[in-house]
């Protein structure tokens, strides 16, 4: 089975101490993950080492950066490269979250560079895609996300695309409390898998985890994750509350 993943995206929230406490609470629940299940915490840069040591040798628990820069190294004050992330043992990085696309003008082309750098430095990109409300209302969501994948991922050879995690996050569902229905999520995830299959073949497409993001919470996680093509979630708000995220992890398919 492809990996089933509960990924927490803390965004720009929590103090260091609150973050430590949250991790203690979640890890203290001692949820045993099956071999094909992963839990990933995407925390602010200054918390990465702390989160790594909290997670320790805990099986199938990992830490992610929320972003990286699209150049290898050099005079880019304030930015963090994938080489820097790799040097502190970070193994996952969110790439192309809609908030980065919206507020920092990240284009599909820049995101392709980030994906390349991640893969060249042993970091698994969690590549985000998803449409705004106006695009869905015009029924153009399939073409829109297809272009996002084509322009940022489809230059990759087969052996590299298998190392990418995709997160479908409709922008209208992020932080709004409005979740895509299971039918909408399944439909889009199946579509994403079909275009991956068109590019790389069915076997490779069947091995790629596609997460759903957008107002996932304890009360809807299990149902969403139960869809055949939904392989877990990328969770913002509800990942900041231990009891919520614990239930979300427990909602992963076995």
Residues that bind ligand PGA in the complex, under the rule CB under 6 A: 9, 169, 174-175, 213-216, 234-238
State the catalytic residues.
97, 169
With respect to ligand PGA, which residue has the nearer C-beta, 89 or 175? 175
With respect to ligand PGA, which residue has the nearer C-beta, 86 or 240? 240
Question: Nearest residue by C-beta to ligand PGA?
Answer: 236
One DSSP character per residue, 23-92 reads HHHHHTT-PPPPTTEEEEEE--GGGHHHHHHHHTT-TTEEEEES---SSSSSS-TT---HHHHHHTT--E
In contact, 52 and 85? CB cutoff 8 Å: no
Nearest distance from residue 180's CB to ligand PGA, in Å? 11
The residue whose two tokens read 């877990």 is: 232
The DSSP symbol for 130 reads -
The DSSP symbol for 239 reads G
With respect to ligand PGA, which residue has the nearer C-beta, 169 or 229? 169
In contact, 212 and 9? CB cutoff 8 Å: no
d(CA 49, CA 57) in angstroms, rounded, equals: 14
Nearest distance from residue 137's CB to ligand PGA, in Å? 19
Nearest distance from residue 238's CB to ligand PGA, in Å? 6
In contact, 6 and 28? CB cutoff 8 Å: no
With respect to ligand PGA, which residue has the nearer C-beta, 208 or 235? 235
Nearest distance from residue 237's CB to ligand PGA, in Å? 4
The set of residues, in sequence order, having a beta carbon less than 8 Å from that of 58 and lying 6+ positions away, is: 27
């Amino acid at each position: 089975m492809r990996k089933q993943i509960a990924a927490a995206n803390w965004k720009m929230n929590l103090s260091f101490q609150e973050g430590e406490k949250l991790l203690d609470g979640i890890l203290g629940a001692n949820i045993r993950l099956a071999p094909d299940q992963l839990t990933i915490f995407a925390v602010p840069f200054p918390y990465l080492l702390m989160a790594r040591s909290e997670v320790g040798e805990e099986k199938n628990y990992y830490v992610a950066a929320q972003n990286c820069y699209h150049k290898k190294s050099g005079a880019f004050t304030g930015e963090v490269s994938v080489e820097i992330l790799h040097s502190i043992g970070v193994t996952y990085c969110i790439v192309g979250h809609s908030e980065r696309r919206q507020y920092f003008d990240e284009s599909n082309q820049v995101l392709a560079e980030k994906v390349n750098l991640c893969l060249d430095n042993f970091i698994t990109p969690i590549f985000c895609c998803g449409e705004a409300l106006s695009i869905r209302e015009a029924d153009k969501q399939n073409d829109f996300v297809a272009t996002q994948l084509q322009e940022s991922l489809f230059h990759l050879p087969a052996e590299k695309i298998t190392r990418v995690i995709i997160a479908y996050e409709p922008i209208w569902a992020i932080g709004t409390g409005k979740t895509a229905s299971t039918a909408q999520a399944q439909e889009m995830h199946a579509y994403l898998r079909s275009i991956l299959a068109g590019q790389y073949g069915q076997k490779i497409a069947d091995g790629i985890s596609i997460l759903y993001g957008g107002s996932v919470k304890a009360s809807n996680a299990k149902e969403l994750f139960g869809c055949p093509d939904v392989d877990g979630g990328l969770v913002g708000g509800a990942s900041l509350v231990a009891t919520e995220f614990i239930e979300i992890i427990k909602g992963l398919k076995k």
